[in-house]
Amino acid sequence: MEATAAKAKPSFYQRKLPDSCIAFSSKLGKKIFASSLSNGGLKSFFPLIQQFTTQSEPAFCGLSTLVLVLNALSVDPRQNWKGPWRWYEESMLNCCLDLEEVKETGITLKDFHCLAHCQGLSVDLKYCTEENSSLEDFRGAVKRACVERSSNDDDDDSDEELDVLVVSYSRKTMGQTGSGHFSPLAAYDAESDSVLILDTARFKYGAHWAKLSLVYEAMKPIDLDTGKSRGYALLSFPPHQRKTSDDEESLQPMSIFFRSRMSKHPIRRKYKEYLTSLSGGEITWDQVVAYWTNEEDGSDSSPWEILEPLRLPQNGEEKDTVEKFRCLLTELLNAQGTPKACCQSRNHKTCVSSHDAMYIIYLASISQERRSEIVRNVACSSTSSQLTRDQLLNEAELIATAIETSDQTTF
């Protein structure tokens, strides 16, 4: 019995906050909240608190923070969560990395940037040791995200554009246990110069206030995985991209059909080397087909290696979107002089052919101007709306970015 007890794994229920942090629910925490409320420092608080959640894995702080932000910004994932409901949860964020690896190692600020970009967010990323990332620069970002603009009209319910600030910091500097961590900042109190940290690891620490200067110092330590300091990101979702339930059509996130995992960097890097080796201008469609059908020396991969299709949507609206996307690809391929058999080489997840995948890679491999000219000028049928063309250009741009950054250590 004693031997068994000695081998038992440790078990913990939360941690006591260090003196540098003030519990949100404490008497002092409530006082700071009241001060922040009276001074208009809660712009991000209410959207975020509605979606505040606990991460499902100990190393999922970055993923959970991004899910919290995406839902707070009302981003439609264009994927079903449960039944007919579309809602962000952590397993959907698999575009830039392998979630099984994340369970073991967590993510870096670079990974976070990639994930946010893939979901259509605008990302203003700062590493703490950069020249334009001083304490005052950070304070300015905090105010932009947390402080409401002044208004003399108490009845004005018009929505102010929301920026959410996410920080990547060292728990050790904060006096907490653990190492690197991600959290959104939900409020700012000017009187105490404190920020409210919504810690998604609620099994460990609850929401708490901390001095703005301390959070800034906590972003300075070097992340050994990247060789750079930690930092912060201002995230926003442009209002024209938001969707309401009454919209017949709306702009969609950056990618709704495909993902390109960061683990595929070696394959994308090899393809980029091939593109660089070509002479005589941009790659042709025939050369792309030759490369991905192993007719060119050096290729041993299929297009599905860098274009990972998402699950085929189940409801009528989503199926209609996919069908329009597929019809547009068919028309583009026919215009290219490459007939496409309806059911040949289709991937079971999206029912698109390998030729479809190669064509998207072709669009990603040419200049943005040429890409736009091809997609916008093809004589498409009425089923291929402008929205569908925009989405195809977005998909190609995402893959182009993945190929371009395949040999870079930072974004």
| Amino acid, single-letter form, for residue 16 | K
Q: For the beta carbon of residue 225, count every other beta carbon within 10 angstroms.
A: 14
Q: How far apart are CA 124 and CA 230, in angstroms?
A: 14
Cα 313 to Cα 326: distance, rounded to the nearest angstrom: 13
Catalytic residue annotation: 61, 181, 199
Task: Compute CA distances 215 → 161, 166, 197, whole Å.
Answer: 25, 11, 10
6 CB-contact burial (10 Å; exposed 0-12 / middle 13-18 / buried 19+): exposed
Spell out the alpha helix ranges (H) of 240-367. 265-277, 285-292, 316-335, 354-365
Q: How many CA atoms lie within 13 A of 15 on its CB side?
A: 16
79-99 burial: b if 16+ Cβ within 10 Å, else e: beeeeeebebbbebbbbbbee
Q: Please enumerate in sequence order all residues whose Cβ is within 8 A of that of 411, keeping only pairs 6 or more positions apart, or say none.
A: 110, 113, 114, 125, 405
Contact, 40 vs 34, CB < 8 A? Answer: no
Q: Rounded to whole angstroms, how far apart are CA atoms 262 and 320? A: 30
- Rounded to an integer, what distance in angstroms lies between the CA atom of residue 127 and that of residue 227? 11
Say which amino acid occupies 377.
Answer: N
Cα–Cα distance measured from residue 237 to residue 308, given in angstroms and rounded to the nearest whole number = 25
Q: Report d(CA 392, CA 385) in Å as an integer.
A: 11
Backbone conformation region of residue 143, classed left if phi is above 0, alpha if psi is from -120 to 50, else beta: alpha
Return phi, psi of residue 222, to 5°.
-75, 135
Element (H, E) at 46: helix 45-49
